[in-house]
Amino acid sequence: MQHMGPLHDLVHYCGASGFTGGSSFTMYRTEARDGGYKGVLRSAMYGHREVSKRDCLVFLRRSMDASFATSPTMYIIHPHRPFLLRPATALPGRRHPPRRITIVADGSTAGNPPVEREIIPSGPLPSLYRSQVINRPIKKNVASDENQRTALPPPMPLSASSLAASLCNAWEDMVNKWLEPLPLRPSIDPEAVLAGNFAPVHELPPTPCPVVKGSIPHCLRGGAYVRNGPNPQHAPRGPHHLFDGDGMLHSLMLSADGGRSPAVMCSRFVRTQRYTVEREAGGPVFPNFFTFRGLAGAGRAALALARVLMGQLHPGKGISPGNVSLAFFHRRLFAFGEPDLPYAIHLSTHDGDVSTVGRANFGSRFFEGMTAHPKKDPDTGEVFAFRYRPIPPFLTYFRFDKDGTKQPDVPIFSVRKFSLFHDFAITKRFAIFPDLPIVVDYPGMVLGGGSLFRADAVKMPRIGVISRGATSGAEMKWFDVPGFSPIHILNSWEEEGEGSDGHAIVLVAPNMINVPQLLEGMEHGHNCVEMLRIDLKNNMVTRTPLSVKSLDMGVINAAYVGKKNRYAYLAMAGPFPKMKGVAKLDFELAKQNKDCVVACREYGPGCFGGEPFFVSKTKPGTRTTATW
Convert 238-272 to b/e letters by CB count within 10 Å (16 or more is b): bbbbbbbbbbbbbbbbbbbebbeebbbbbbbbbbb
Phi–psi pair at 264, nearest 5 degrees: -130, 125
**Any known ligand binding at 422?**
yes
Phi–psi pair at 433, nearest 5 degrees: -120, 125
Contact (Cβ atoms closer than 8 angstroms) between residue 81 and residue 53 = no
CA nearest neighbour of 82 among 218, 284, 266, 335: 266
CA nearest neighbour of 377 among 443, 419, 428, 310: 428
Q: What is the largest CA-CA distance in the chain?
A: 72
Contact (Cβ atoms closer than 8 angstroms) between residue 434 and residue 509 = yes
The Cα–Cα gap between 82 and 88 comes to 18
Q: List, in order, residues 6 or more apart from 15 with CB less than 8 Å away.
A: 45, 46, 47, 48, 49, 53, 54, 227, 228, 229, 325, 610, 611
Cβ neighbourhood burial of 155 (10 Å; 0-12, 13-18, 19+): middle
Cβ neighbourhood burial of 388 (10 Å; 0-12, 13-18, 19+): buried
Q: What is the chain's Cα-based Rg? A: 24
**Any known ligand binding at 373?**
yes
Contact (Cβ atoms closer than 8 angstroms) between residue 372 and residue 325 = yes
**Any known ligand binding at 350?**
no
Please state the residue numbers annotated as binding site for Fe cation. 373, 422, 488
Please state the residue numbers annotated as binding site. 373, 422, 488
